[in-house]
A and B are shown apart, each in its own frame.
Chain A
Amino acid sequence: MSGNTSPIWLFDCRIGALAPAELYDEILPDHLADTELLWKPIKDRRRQQHRHWDWRAKLADAAGYLFYQGFAVVAEGKTQGLMMVDRSKTARIPVQQGKDLVYIAFLETAPWNLGQQRLYRGVGTALLAAAIQCSLDDGFRGRIGLHSLPQSEDFYRKCSMTEFDRDPDYEDLIYFEMSESRAAEFMREIGS
């Protein structure tokens, strides 16, 4: 695989320790192939909520639009999670209302990273950090927003994102937004 990568860490639940992984700042053909050859059969079998997410179609839709950017997390040579961000949206929190933010249009982890028997934990954390870094790089000061799937709401609450009402324009999902100050706190260096 090629592309711009950053070293990251995931928690390998099989050994109970952190394991090295890579964050890609684009979604490459190999990542798409993994979603089709490795993810899809498992998702179809489990009838997961977002089993209908077709990443190849999403990437085709986004082609030509500069405000979309894809990200991928890879470990053990397999795609562990994907994210598509949209840099054309604006903030809703009153103190930053109307300002540009990075909106996480889609975030999905590999089906083997879901539930109690997951292989890796931390894919969502890494992708959330990538969205914040993308926001910082674009001059949006870390502002990000997203519509959470019901099973993930607690995670975004734990990240101290501001919670809005269910959004009737977005399939009744709850909208979460991270303020500049909270983003700075989230990304703050820990340890040495």
Chain B
Amino acid sequence: MKLNLNKQWFEQRIRAETCDVAAGVSSPLPTTSQPDLQEIEGLAFGRLIELLRRAQRLSVSALAAKANVSVEEIVCIEGDAKFTLDPQSVQRLADVFQLPPRALEALSSRAFAHSPRLHQAAVSFAADSAKISELTAEEQAALAGFVKVLSSQDG
């Protein structure tokens, strides 16, 4: 890049610079985010609950009723990797799925980062459990219905 401005240009423009000049926020550049290890564990926790629920052919509402947690919480567990469930609810989910409560709570609270082996297992599970199969009829209907609602909001 070449800047071609003459001496007169600087002479005149510099007159406006009567105060200190600076710009930018103090935080780092925004495009350098690294994989969030804790978020991966949150994702693994959500996938685990979803697959266990589906393995038992439970709807979200049915699981919520069975575990005595709210439907919103189940939706957040399965869909929001940053959502953190309270320990009592984790305990009840562990009871429903007959899992060791401490291990499930460790995963839920992103405590696997302290153990490379468990963390790697969580990463592998999150990766391997990503769906590649075709959508079921129920998933297709739910997807079409939600897209329709979103489309009706446009304009």
Q: Is A159 an interface residue (CB 8 A)?
A: yes
Contact at B22–A173, with CB atoms within 8 Å?
no
A155, B6: Cβ atoms closer than 8 Å: no
Q: Which of A106, A134, A154 is in CB contact (< 8 Å) with B19?
A: A154
Are B2 and A124 touching (Cβ within 8 A)?
no
Of all chain B residues, which has the CB nearest A171? Answer: B25
Cβ-defined contact, A125 with B20, below 8 A: no
Chain-A contact segment, one of B9-17, B42-50, B63-71, B76-84: B9-17
Partner among A65, A128, A134, A147 whose Cβ is within 8 Å of the Cβ of B25: A147
Give the contact stretch, choosing among B26-34, B112-120, B122-130, B140-148. B26-34
* Residues of chain A contacted by B25 (CB below 8 angstroms): 147, 170-171, 173
A61, B1: Cβ atoms closer than 8 Å: no
Query: CB within 8 A of B2: which of A4, A115, A158, A159?
Result: A4
**Is A18 positioned at the interface, with any CB of B under 8 Å from its CB?**
yes
Q: Chain A residues near B27: list those with CB within 8 A.
A: 171
- Given the complex of chains A and B, what is the CA–CA distance between A62 and B32 in angstroms? 8
- A190 contact set on B, CB distance < 8 A: 6, 8-9, 11-13
Question: Nearest Cβ in chain A — how far from B21, in angstroms?
Answer: 3
Q: Which residue of B lies closest to A151 (CB)?
A: B20
Number of B interface residues at 8 Å Cβ cutoff, please give it.
Answer: 30
* A133 contacts the other chain (CB 8 A): yes
Q: List 19 A-B contacts (CB under 8 A).
A: A11-B10, A23-B3, A50-B22, A58-B29, A68-B29, A88-B31, A107-B22, A114-B20, A121-B17, A124-B22, A125-B16, A126-B3, A149-B22, A155-B18, A171-B26, A186-B13, A190-B6, A191-B7, A192-B6
Beyond A61-B32, A190-B6, 20 additional pairs, beta carbon < 8 A: A8-B10, A9-B10, A18-B14, A25-B1, A50-B26, A53-B26, A58-B28, A65-B31, A108-B24, A109-B22, A122-B14, A125-B16, A127-B21, A147-B24, A147-B25, A152-B21, A152-B22, A155-B16, A170-B25, A187-B5
- A-side residues, CB < 8 A to B, are 4, 6, 8-11, 18, 23, 25, 49-50, 52-53, 57-58, 61-62, 65, 68, 84, 86, 88, 104-109, 114-115, 121-130, 133-134, 137, 146-149, 151-152, 154-155, 158-159, 170-171, 173, 186-187, 189-192
